[in-house]
Amino acid sequence: MRAAAAVAIAYLLSPFTQGLAYGNFVENVFVPILAICGAIAARRRALVPALLAAQALLGLKEDEALFLVWFGVACALWWDRRMGLAIAALAVLNGAGFALAERLHGAHPSLPSYALTIDDPLSKLLFFAALLASFAFAPLWLGRSLLLGAPLAAELLFNRPWAYQIARIGTHWTAPLLAGTAIAAAYVIARRPKFALPIVVCAVICALTINDTALKPGRWPYVVDRAAYAAATTLRESTQRVVVPRHAEGVYVVAASNPKVVLARYRPGESGYCPAYNTNARAFFASIGIGSWPAGITLCGGVPLSRR
């Protein structure tokens, strides 16, 4: 029980879990829970629950089909042949269905291209190190079994430059690898309970040092900009086409129910973006009625900012 609690605490405190939870609400937020449920079902050789979890994963995003073909074949080779083949077959059917629907509707998913070279290798090395650090590097004790996670890592390693760095805390691309890392840590700690304390300590340290959310010394919750929110809600009733700049994406989120409101394309080097975090404690407390608003401070996307 102590080991299980340690893994759960490490998972919840992990900056990668928090970044995924507090970022944009996307389909991949369900990947960790479904993957963990599927892993438990497979461990118990419960065929129907395993297939239900697999199908739920396959309904989230197209790349899950590739991952589940891989894990299905691995399961068939080294654990349960019937279950593994069933999962792989289900993944192939879903993948083929997705490709067919895509062709019939003339659609194409928005995804980066891939190559056999690693773009920005240092940042990706730091990303993997930070992910492992939040679980006290416990998954490394799997040895050669770590190769089972190769496709999860490859998706983040070999992508070409994209609109943003996909191997970064909080992006939805990281959800499958986060799930795999948590499952690997649980497997290791079940056999090496001595990891229970280090894994919690490392999770706390990572949460307070490399966190991508407000849970970090020096950061404070955002301030609700009621005037900006009111202006954004008026766009819901606009009868004319409105193009919202990319740096004001929050405005678009509020007004997106109006089909005449569209978001501008991303342009590298575009200015106008607000700071990522609120570091002004006085402004935050003033916003909840404690103290006075600091002079010379305005709001930019909920972040207090000096007018100078």
Does residue 267 have a pLDDT over 90?
A: no
Q: Residue 110: which residues within 8 A CB-CB, separation 6 or more?
A: none
Contact 289, 231 (CB under 8 A): no
Q: What pLDDT is recorded for position 110?
A: 67
Pairwise CA distance, residues 283 & 89, whole Å: 56
Q: Which of 151, 148, 157 is nearest to 128 (CA)?
A: 157
- What is this structure's pTM? 0.79
Q: What pLDDT is recorded for position 308?
A: 64
- Mean pLDDT of the region 27-55: 95
Instruction: Report the mean per-residue pLDDT for the chain.
Output: 90
Q: Is residue 113 helix, strand or coil? A: coil
CA dihedral (259, 260, 265, 266) in degrees, to 10, reads -70
Query: In one letter, which amino acid is 225?
Result: D
Q: Give the model confidence (pLDDT) of 153-199 as tens digits.
A: 999 999 888 767 888 888 889 999 999 999 999 999 999 998 889 99
Least confident residue range of 13-17, 64-68, 247-251: 247-251
Q: What pLDDT is recorded for position 73?
A: 97
Q: Is residue 218 helix, strand or coil? A: coil
Q: What pLDDT is recorded for position 271?
A: 84
Pairwise CA distance, residues 247 & 200, whole Å: 37
Residues 53-82: b if buried by 16+ CB within 10 A, e if exposed:
bbbbbbebbebbbebbbbbbebbbeeebee
What is the residue whose two structure tokens read 């773009």?
119
Pairwise CA distance, residues 40 & 47, whole Å: 11
Query: In one letter, which amino acid is 254?
Result: V
